[in-house]
């Protein structure tokens, strides 16, 4: 017997033992709504437990107090939504994450201060926009970035000075063009480049002299054509080439040397 065959035989024997000890064998097994090795509530496999719940939804609520964390987490997905809120304080973060994926409104907001980052990310992905502002001071940048992705435009300026440039870049991607001027002096060049690439033409022209070449390159795509001639002398070849291309010049001239 090969190792694969031996493993399969061992797995089948283990499943048979579980079936022999299972209190459900007179119910779900008899009705054909569970199957050893495929859809089993007592299995160690999350997929098997999930398949069992899908076929026997009535068991989900009963499993919300199960001692095995994965069984509780899967039960949360299938149990009635009004029954899962009490697991918001479950000791296992995977269970609380599942709870966050089911709750709504103020009940979901309760998990906005959960100690687990993934739970809070789930909350930030699902909270109604009107409640999202409560999370703009979250200690984790990834949570604040998710808030910035969904916050109503009128409230986005509150994150324009966030301590993390990843969050500020998200704000710069979403702010209306007319509101971007306040971020033109951001200390991070990657943020300024996003700003420059979305600004109104006259405002973008002001960033053509930015000390970072990537910001100048982004700004020249937005700035008026008449403002681009100065960039034909830019010290960065890529900026000169982009300026020449926008101006319709075949070959960008080399920068003039100062005497």
Q: Whole-angstrom Cα distance, residue 62 to residue 77?
A: 13
Instruction: Establish if 42 belongs to a structural domain.
Output: no
What tens digit of pLDDT does each residue of 61-119 get?
A: 888 998 999 989 999 999 998 999 999 999 999 999 999 999 999 999 999 999 999 99
Contacts of 13 (CB under 8 A, 6+ apart): none
Mean pLDDT across the stretch 208-222? 97
Geometric angle at alpha carbon 182, from 178 and 186, rounded to 5°: 130
Report the number of distinct structural domains present in the chain: 1
Q: Whole-angstrom Cα distance, residue 46 to residue 54?
A: 12
What are the DSSP calls for 54-69, one per residue?
Answer: HH-GGGTGGGGG-SSH
Contacts of 199 (CB under 8 A, 6+ apart): 177, 180, 181, 184, 207, 219, 222
pLDDT score recorded for residue 31 = 60
- The residue ranking higher by pLDDT, 53 or 225, is 225
Instruction: Establish if 4 belongs to a structural domain.
Output: no
Q: The domain containing residue 222 runs over which residues?
A: 176-259
Q: What is the pTM of this model?
A: 0.81
Q: Are the C-beta atoms of 141 and 166 separated by less than 8 Å?
A: yes
pLDDT score recorded for residue 256 = 62
What tens digit of pLDDT does each residue of 227-253 get?
A: 999 999 999 999 999 999 999 986 555
pLDDT score recorded for residue 231 = 95
Instruction: Establish if 50 belongs to a structural domain.
Output: no
What tens digit of pLDDT does each residue of 107-150 get?
A: 999 999 999 999 999 999 999 998 999 999 999 999 999 999 99
Q: Whole-angstrom Cα distance, residue 162 to residue 186?
A: 11
């Amino acid at each position: 017997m090969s190792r694969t065959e031996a493993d399969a035989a061992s797995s089948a024997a283990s499943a048979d033992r579980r079936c022999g000890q299972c209190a459900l064998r007179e119910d779900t097994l008899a009705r054909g709504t569970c199957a050893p090795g495929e859809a089993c509530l007592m299995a160690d496999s999350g997929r098997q437990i999930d398949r069992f719940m899908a076929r026997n939804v009535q068991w989900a609520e009963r499993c919300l107090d199960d001692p095995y964390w994965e069984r509780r987490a899967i039960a949360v997905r299938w149990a009635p939504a009004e029954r899962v809120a009490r697991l918001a304080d479950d000791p296992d973060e995977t269970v609380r994450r599942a709870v966050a994926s089911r709750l709504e409104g103020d009940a979901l907001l309760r998990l906005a201060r959960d100690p687990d980052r993934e739970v809070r990310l789930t909350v930030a992905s699902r909270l109604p926009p009107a409640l999202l502002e409560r999370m703009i001071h979250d200690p984790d940048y990834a949570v604040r970035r998710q808030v910035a992705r969904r916050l109503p435009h009128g409230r986005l300026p509150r994150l324009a000075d966030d301590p993390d440039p990843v969050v500020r870049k998200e704000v710069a991607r979403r702010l209306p063009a007319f509101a971007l001027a306040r971020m033109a002096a951001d200390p991070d060049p990657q943020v300024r480049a996003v700003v420059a690439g979305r600004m109104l033409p006259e405002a973008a022209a002001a960033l053509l002299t930015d000390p970072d070449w990537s910001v100048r390159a982004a700004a020249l795509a937005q700035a008026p054509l008449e403002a681009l001639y100065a960039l034909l002398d830019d010290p960065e070849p890529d900026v000169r080439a982009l300026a020449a291309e926008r101006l319709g010049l075949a070959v960008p001239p080399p920068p003039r040397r100062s005497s």
